[in-house]
Amino acid sequence: MNTAALDIRASRFGDERTPFLSARRVAELLGVNLTELASLIGVARNTLIAKT
């Protein structure tokens, strides 16, 4: 596996207004929807969009 392909900064997936990653942006990069992303990481889909 080419390690250069994995050298992606987390800030690329952030939301400008918060210190958190954007689940939508991560899902888009991986080519999955939010439900599939939640399943991949083992959380409920609602957890991905929680703003608290």
Structural domains of the chain, count: 1
CA distance 46 to 38: 9
Instruction: Please give the residue range of the domain that contains residue 9.
Output: 3-49
- pLDDT of 1 above 50: no
Query: How far apart, in whole angstroms, are the C-alpha atoms of residue 9 and residue 25?
Result: 13
CA–CA gap between residue 29 and residue 27 (Å, rounded):
5
pTM: 0.63
What confidence tens digit (pLDDT) does each residue in 8-36 have? 666 666 666 767 778 888 899 889 999 99
